[in-house]
Amino acid sequence: MELFLMTLTTGIMVGGIYALVALGWVLIYKCSGVLNLAMGELTLIGAYVSLSFYQMGVPFLPSLFLSLIIGFILGILTERIFLDRLIGEPVLTVIMVTVGLSFFFKGTIQLIWGTDTRVFAPAVFPLKPIIIGPLIIGQVYLWSFIAAIILLCIFVCFFKYTRWGLAMQATADDEMAALSLGVSARFVYAAAWAIAFMAAGVGGTLLGNINGLNISVGYLGLLVLPAVVLGGLNSVPGAILGGIIIGVLQNLSGTYLDAYFPGGVKEVAPFVFMVIFLLFKPHGIWGWERIERV
């Protein structure tokens, strides 16, 4: 029972980070209709940038902030250089451009930072675990979760109460209506990419704190794809819920199924679950069921 509770809490906490990255993904999809397969690389970029600042001697929070700024700039550049020209192109074209981007980013990252695992040294979060009753939780997980929740709240407030956020919501809801009300769609697309870059960067930094940072953290970033599919592609609450489900599922299967299927069951469980889930609910939990007309 204790094992179960501990796995569950760890899962929820890691899931919080996935939820953050998934939020960025859903945002891009809702605002501009781009299905982004480069999310793993976006997490890597943010993580490596903040790691570099941290190793230069900048304290953790400022380096995170600097990586946010760089993520913002990169996001706008990416949108302007690559995605802006593709408005109105077929879906496959846009998807493949994001695949191309993911290769480009990955190659560049490995070129700049190499393939060795790097750790945040000295450790950002204290190594001593926190003990609450029967639960033992690593502080990294706890603080990552708290940071993810705070950022999620900031993002949600941003969408609800600020002018920009409302413009983005309007575009996501009905692009034509938003355009006629004077919202600049190009601005919204750029902002969506910038925010996705920033969210992914924070997620990547937190994930990199847990187990060190190498190219396989990008694979963790890829786990947002099952998360958003579970939640339904165009639902923000769905993305958050999906992220947490994926985190929990991953940890539960790592704990309980590993005895039966030794090896990397933790890595594939989300994908297996996703395939089976899609067979029964083809639009995820809260995804829109579009009525198709010929």
Partner 1 sequence: MSTTWLPCGTYHQSYKEDQSLWQTKFIKGKMILLFAVLFIGVPLLADPYWMSVVNTIGYTLLGALGVQLLIGFCGQVTLGHAAFIAVGAYTSTLLILEFPWPQAMMDFGIAYPLSIVIAAITAGIASVIFGLPSARVKGFYLILTTMAAQFIIVDFIITQYVSQIGGRGQAFSIPPEAIKVGPFAIDSDTKVYFMMLFLVILSVTIVVNLLRSRVGRAWVAIRDNDISAGVMGINVVKYKLLAFFVAGFIGGLAGAFWISNLAAISPEHFPWFWSLWLVGVILIGGVGSIHGTIFGSVFMVVVMELLQSAVVPLANFYPRLMMDFLFIKEAAFGLAICGFMIFEPNGIAYRWWQIKNYFNLWPFSY
**Do residues 229 and 134 make contact, with C-beta atoms less than 8 angstroms apart?**
no
Toward partner 1, which CB reaches closer, 144 or 253? 253
The CA-based angle 287-288-290, given to 5 degrees, is 140
Toward partner 1, which CB reaches closer, 108 or 162? 108
Binding site residues, partner 1, CB under 8 A: 35, 37, 82, 85-86, 89, 91-93, 95-97, 99-108, 110-111, 225-226, 229, 233, 261-265, 267-268, 271-272, 274-275, 278-279, 282-284, 292, 294
Output the smallest distance, CB 144 to partner 1, in A.
24
Toward partner 1, which CB reaches closer, 120 or 221? 221
Output the smallest distance, CB 106 to partner 1, in A.
6
Output the smallest distance, CB 40 to partner 1, in A.
11
Toward partner 1, which CB reaches closer, 164 or 277? 277
Toward partner 1, which CB reaches closer, 173 or 258? 258
User: Could you identify the residue written with the tokens 């953050």?
Assistant: 20
Output the smallest distance, CB 103 to partner 1, in A.
3
Output the smallest distance, CB 96 to partner 1, in A.
5
